[in-house]
Structure 1
């Protein structure tokens, strides 16, 4: 079996960026992706220079088409199910959902993160009329009657202050959480309504919000808004490979993608277990690829 220079797991902006950089460095690499990218539900990816407003799938297709120019990269539409390291982390065996096995000297983890919503019906509207990032989707929602849904005071205040920049017609829903007196005062001085009743249901058609019903039976009319999900890594590859994890959930690195485990690198949202923009994720992938290529170069020269 041929030993690859690097296997990249995850075909989001960080994994695609890392693949391009390493293929241009003439490294033999394999990129695995199973189509579960977090931004797949959005209608448009905004804020990426030269690609503002592009559909996420089109963004990926352009990137994959560019990779076809480089013969040393192979793309596999498959889920990685297991990574087995040998003693000393000199080789990694990667197993996939298609029952194939690949061996590589180095691994880049770029599998991203996923959202958790405390209100299940948010998922029906997420990406069409409810969003998590004002920088990504605030412009399109400017001056609309918006809702902010969050359940931790620090998230409520931070997100509301941001969204206020795009629309001052705001209602904040805390879903049963009581804000501190200071928190209430800070929002109310800007005439922002705060509703602390528990949310029963979000109502709308085809992903577009129309109104929100509370357990009291009352409703409010809102056309869009922003939410503060919780996030998690969809796999435990970093933990199983022995990478050191900070108590806040962040994978410890040297700042350019090298983890505390030899030959294991990480890129994009996977590292911090927090959301970031496409541009930042792509830059992280580029950095991790630089680290991989530098290490291969120095080890073999």
Structure 2
């Protein structure tokens, strides 16, 4: 069997793409190994009618809706290799299957790489977050730490000032802000600490202290940390698509990549910000483009 479309990734982008294609009576192979990036998060926000929903419950509802359409088949395995063929694409799975598809949507998203700071994982998703649009409301008016080794921390801090005026920026031993930026932050009462970080301390996932390598510490109730984002599904060498400066897949407004028949949706085509509702909309656009291209081919 050759599917009309294979979708690699079962987040909001991949699931919404499968929904649109299923409703269009197209055969879909949806590959999802159930390792979402937001698994550590207790609640997802900013998605109309689902604000505050647990990520696992969001996935349960989404799969219930998507798999109502008989032409959509869920493959609960990791896609380990993909190659371009004369008929489209061949996907190899971790369990040894080979699946053929005319079109391919990469929607596997991104994975996060964090600085090696003791205790970070204990607080991430509970009182340390990375997206102010997703969790800024819950952290409003609290004393927060903003941790980053990237110059983008300046923009992030200005955004977070919308939710809390009690901010301290920690650059973990890196001098990434110039004097003008430091001056503007300090004019708003935002201190910048460049000392290397040693550990996060608190209880039950709630941050209490940020400790530095020199033995000093600051009291904080939560914060935001910038991670490095890299593509979760790295098939660039196999498929030859162009990548963005942020590591995503170059795609046009209709999610078409630089490789014919290959589309990128959600965080796979990351340009920021990373939100459920934006990813789902991207999946819908990708599916519409796939359907349009299939129809044109069938009529040509």
- Give the TM-score band, short-chain normalised: over 0.9
1:116 and 1:275, CA in 2 relative to 1: closer, same or farther beyond 3 A? Answer: farther
Is 2:108 the counterpart of 1:101?
no
TM-score by length of 2: 0.95
CA RMSD across the alignment: 1.5
2:154/2:181 contact within 8 Å kept: yes
Query: Helix, strand or coil: the match of 1:119?
Result: coil
- Map of 2:79 onto structure 1: 80
- Map of 1:278 onto structure 2: 276
- Cα offset for 1:257? 1.1
Query: Helix, strand or coil: the match of 1:141?
Result: coil
2:83/2:238 contact within 8 Å kept: no
1:112/1:273 contact within 8 Å kept: no
Which whole-Å CA distance do the structure 2 matches of 1:111 and 1:46 have between them?
A: 20
Query: Helix, strand or coil: the match of 1:4?
Result: strand
Greater mean alpha carbon deviation, residues 203-212 or residues 9-18: 203-212
Query: Helix, strand or coil: the match of 2:31?
Result: strand
The aligned length equals 297
- Cα offset for 1:126? 1.2
- Map of 2:266 onto structure 1: 268
Is 2:10 the counterpart of 1:11?
yes
Which whole-Å CA distance do the structure 2 matches of 1:135 and 1:162 have between them?
A: 9
Which whole-Å CA distance do the structure 1 matches of 2:116 and 2:187 have between them?
A: 28
**Structure 2 matches for 1:47-86, cutoff 5 A?**
47-86=46-85
1:244/1:260 contact within 8 Å kept: yes
Which whole-Å CA distance do the structure 2 matches of 1:181 and 1:208 have between them?
A: 33
- Cα offset for 1:174? 1.3
Q: Deviations over 1:157-207 (max 9, x none)?
A: 111111111111111111112332111110111111221111011112332
2:229/2:246 contact within 8 Å kept: no
- Map of 1:143 onto structure 2: 141
2:229/2:247 contact within 8 Å kept: no
- 5+ residue gaps, structure 1, are none
**Structure 2 matches for 1:195-214, cutoff 5 A?**
195-214=193-212
1:192 and 1:234, CA in 2 relative to 1: closer, same or farther beyond 3 A? Answer: same
Query: Helix, strand or coil: the match of 1:151?
Result: coil
**Structure 2 matches for 1:152-191, cutoff 5 A?**
152-153=150-151, 155-178=152-175, 179-191=177-189
2:242/2:258 contact within 8 Å kept: yes
Query: Helix, strand or coil: the match of 1:203?
Result: strand
1:238 and 1:283, CA in 2 relative to 1: closer, same or farther beyond 3 A? Answer: farther
Greater mean alpha carbon deviation, residues 225-234 or residues 198-207: 198-207
Is 2:250 the counterpart of 1:252?
yes
Which whole-Å CA distance do the structure 2 matches of 1:274 and 1:97 have between them?
A: 30
- Cα offset for 1:248? 5.2
Query: Helix, strand or coil: the match of 2:290?
Result: helix
1:33 and 1:145, CA in 2 relative to 1: closer, same or farther beyond 3 A? Answer: same
Q: Deviations over 1:101-125 (max 9, x none)?
A: 2111111000100111123432321
Which runs of at least 4 in structure 1 moved beyond 4 Å after TM superposition? none
Q: Deviations over 1:40-86 (max 9, x none)?
A: 11110001000000001110110000012211001121101111222
Which whole-Å CA distance do the structure 2 matches of 1:246 and 1:11 have between them?
A: 22
- 5+ residue gaps, structure 2, are none
Is 2:53 the counterpart of 1:91?
no
Greater mean alpha carbon deviation, residues 131-140 or residues 121-130: 121-130
Which whole-Å CA distance do the structure 1 matches of 2:129 and 2:242 have between them?
A: 32
